[in-house]
Structure 1
Amino acid sequence: MLRTLFVVMSLMLIQLTAHADNQADFWQALKEGGKVVLVRHAEIDRSFGDSFLLDESCFSEKNLNELGQKQAKNIGAEFTSREIKIYKVFASPHCRTKDTAELAFGSFTVNPVLRLTKALTAEKANTNIEKTKTLISSHKEMSNLILVTHRPNIGELANIRVEPAEMVLIQPLGDGLFDVITRLKLTESN
């Protein structure tokens, strides 16, 4: 029993250390600049609304819940407190991504290529993913580019399944290429 407890405690310590290292790597790379951050929209109210719909009033769409609003504000607070330089913030036209972008970063521009791929025809989704890859790989500014989008889109781009408000850090390489550096999901204690 004592040995099992020791093994469990050791594994928890390894996980905490890995998270701390991951967080340090994430913020240090952003301080260097020239990166792209893929942000999955924050937590939504799953009991009402349509994930695929675009509704200018936002009434019929899935929208952020209270936790999601806190998550988005927490992202913004971390970027601000760490003085991360931002070139531009683009968001998908869905209300949950626009709200995440606004609560986290203030100003943003809607970019239709970031629209939820599952809401599009396969041909249009593939076109949008290719345009997004070009947008990422061609980022050459010294400050960082933020793209607030959806899990399926990030999965297609980075081959990672992300949670609400999770971020994936990308190094643009040009010529349609980029590397995934790391990922980060902020916790309440960040």
Structure 2
Amino acid sequence: MFAGAAILAVWSSGAAADAWTVLKQPGVIALIRHADAPGTGDPRGWRLDDCRTQRNLSERGRRESQLLGEAFRANRVTVGKVIASQWCRAVDTATLMQLGPVDQHSAFNNAYVLFNKRAELTRAARAVLSGWNGDGLLVVVTHGDNIELLTGVMPVQGEIVAVRRAGGDPAKLTVVGRIRPAPARTGG
């Protein structure tokens, strides 16, 4: 099957089609948990400047990232800016999506690993999100714990959580849609 055709089935079928429409609305931000990277956290001795010391995308995660980018294009979502955590799996997800230049930002670094900095990371992330006023969608590729701290939602790997800033409090986010990747096929 042609990859472009597979995308529609994987990313925009059923209720997800409404979420793609939501992503085109002004003021919406897409928070994306990095694609498939087996394991939890990072190995002891990890270093931010050395991807070999971190948990990284699997081949499935690399393909998921490419499909996710194709889905953005197939659904004609205009992206204004792409930001990623400085962790390699987030940068790689964002880069493989091919939605534009990827700005790395420490505010979206891994809150699971940096447990003692969770409040600081969340505060900094809220400041970045509340300050976004550009044209098109702001896409942020980060980690599950970061998204949960911002929204109360723990996404699966590769999931998009669409949010809108809530009324009078630009730091408060309301979840307005979710797009989950299709489950991995097993066997045969």
| TM-score range normalised by the length of the shorter chain | 0.7 to 0.9
Residue 115 of structure 1 corresponds to 109
Task: List gaps (5 residues or longer) in structure 1.
Answer: 1-18
Secondary structure of residue in 2 paired with 1:89: strand
Aligned twin of 2:119: 126
In 1, the alpha carbon distance for the partners of 2:46 and 2:100 equals 24
**Equivalent pairs, count:** 170
The structure 1 residue matched to 2:85, chosen from 80, 84, 92, is 92
Question: 1:106 Cα deviation (Å)?
Answer: 4.7
How far apart, CA to CA, are the structure 1 residues paired with 2:13 and 2:173?
Answer: 24
Select between 173-182 and 75-84 the one with higher mean Cα deviation.
173-182
Q: Which runs of 5+ in 2 are unaligned?
A: 1-11
Q: How does 1:8-23 map to 2 (within 5 A)?
A: 20-23=13-16
User: What's the CA shift string for 1:119-154, capped at 9, x where partnerless?
Assistant: 2252x3211101212222332334110110001111
Residue equivalent to 2:176: 181
SS of 2:132's partner is coil
Structure-2 change in CA distance of 1:117 and 1:182 (3 Å): same
Q: Supply the distance in 2 between the matched residues of 1:52 and 1:188 (Cα, whole angstroms).
A: 32
Higher helix share: 1
Partner of 1:58: 51
Give the number of the structure whose alpha-carbon radius of gyration is greater: 1
Q: Does 1:149 align with 2:136?
A: no
Shift of 1:55: 3.7
Question: Percent of aligned pairs with the same residue?
Answer: 25
Question: What do you get for the CA RMSD once the two structures are aligned?
Answer: 2.5
Distance 1:78 1:33, change over 3 A: farther
- The answer to whether the 8 Å contact 1:51/1:62 transfers is no
TM-score, normalised by the number of residues in structure 2 = 0.80
Q: CA deviation at 1:34?
A: 2.8
